Amino acid sequence: MKKVKPKKSKKWFFVIFGIIFFFIITYFGIYLYAKMQPKLPITGANGYHLYDINGDVYTASSNKSVDLKDISKDLINATISVEDKNFYKHQGFDYLRIFKALFINLKSGETLQGASTITQQYAKNLFLDFDKTWDRKIKEAWITIRLESHYSKDDILEGYLNTINYGGIFGIENASKYYFNKNAKDLTLAEASMLAGIPKNPSQYSPLINEEKAKNRQKIILDTMVKNKYISQDEADNAYNTKLNYEKSEDSDNLKMMMYYQDAVMDELKSIKTIPSSFLETGGLKIYTNLDIKAQQVLEDSVNKNITNPDIQMAGVVMDPKSGKVLALSGGRDYNKSQYNRATMAKRQVGSTIKPFLYYSALENGFTPSTTFTSEKTTFSFSGNKTYTPKNYNDEYANGPISLAAAISYSDNIYAVKTHLFLGDDALPDILRRVGINEKLNTLPSLALGAEEINMMDMMAAYGALANEGYKVKPYFISKVTDIDGNILYEYKPNLENILNKNTVYILNELLTTTYASEFKDYNVPTCLSIAPKMTHKYALKTGTTNTDNLIFGYNKELLVGMWTGYDDNKDVSSKDSSNLKNAWVDVMENYLKGKDDKDTWYKTPNNVVGVAIDPISGKAVTDGSKAKILYYIKGTEPSEVKTSLDDSVPTVKLEE
Length of the chain as a residue count: 657
Q: Residue 410 pLDDT more than 90?
A: yes
Domain with CATH 3.40.710.10 in the chain: 300-482+493-654
pLDDT tens digit string along 103-142?
A: 565 555 554 445 588 888 888 777 655 556 666 677 777 7
CB 113 within 8 A of CB 106: no
pLDDT tens digit string along 195-250?
A: 999 998 887 888 887 889 999 999 999 999 999 999 999 999 999 999 998 876 55
> Residue 392 has what pLDDT?
93
Give residue 326's pLDDT band: very low, low, confident or very high (50, 70, 90): very high
Q: Residue 100 pLDDT more than 70?
A: no
- Domain spanning 300-482+493-654: which superfamily? DD-peptidase/beta-lactamase superfamily (3.40.710.10)
pLDDT tens digit string along 340-381?
A: 999 999 999 999 999 999 999 999 999 999 999 999 999 998
Q: Residue 475 pLDDT more than 60?
A: yes
Between CA 42 and CA 89 the distance in angstroms is: 22
Give residue 31's pLDDT band: very low, low, confident or very high (50, 70, 90): low
Give residue 166's pLDDT band: very low, low, confident or very high (50, 70, 90): confident
Give residue 642's pLDDT band: very low, low, confident or very high (50, 70, 90): very low
> Residue 427 has what pLDDT?
95
Which residues are marked as active site? Answer: 83, 352
Q: Is 168 helix (H, G, I), strand (E, B) or coil?
A: coil
Q: Which helix (H) or strand (E) holds 634?
A: strand 629-634
Give residue 321's pLDDT band: very low, low, confident or very high (50, 70, 90): very high
> Residue 119 has what pLDDT?
85
What does the pLDDT average to over 60-88?
85
What does the pLDDT average to over 15-23?
63
* DSSP letter for each residue of 508-571: HHHHGGGGG-GGG-SSS--TTGGGGGG-SS--EEEEEE-SSEEEEEEE-SS-EEEEEEE-TT-P
Between CA 179 and CA 293 the distance in angstroms is: 23
Domain with CATH 1.10.3810.10 in the chain: 71-253
- Residue 314 carries which side chain, given as an amino acid letter? M
pLDDT tens digit string along 374-393?
A: 999 999 988 888 899 999 98
> Residue 132 has what pLDDT?
60
- Domain spanning 71-253: which superfamily? Biosynthetic peptidoglycan transglycosylase-like (1.10.3810.10)
> Residue 201 has what pLDDT?
86
Mean of all residue pLDDT scores within the chain: 86
**How far from 581 is each of 111, 276, 530, 550, CA to CA, in Å?**
44, 41, 12, 7
Q: Residue 42 pLDDT more than 70?
A: no
Q: Residue 57 pLDDT more than 60?
A: yes
For helices 255-271 and 293-306, what crossing angle results, to 10°? 130
Report percent pLDDT > 70 for the chain. Answer: 82
Q: Residue 252 pLDDT more than 60?
A: no
Q: Residue 270 pLDDT more than 70?
A: yes
Q: Residue 472 pLDDT more than 90?
A: yes
The pTM score is 0.81
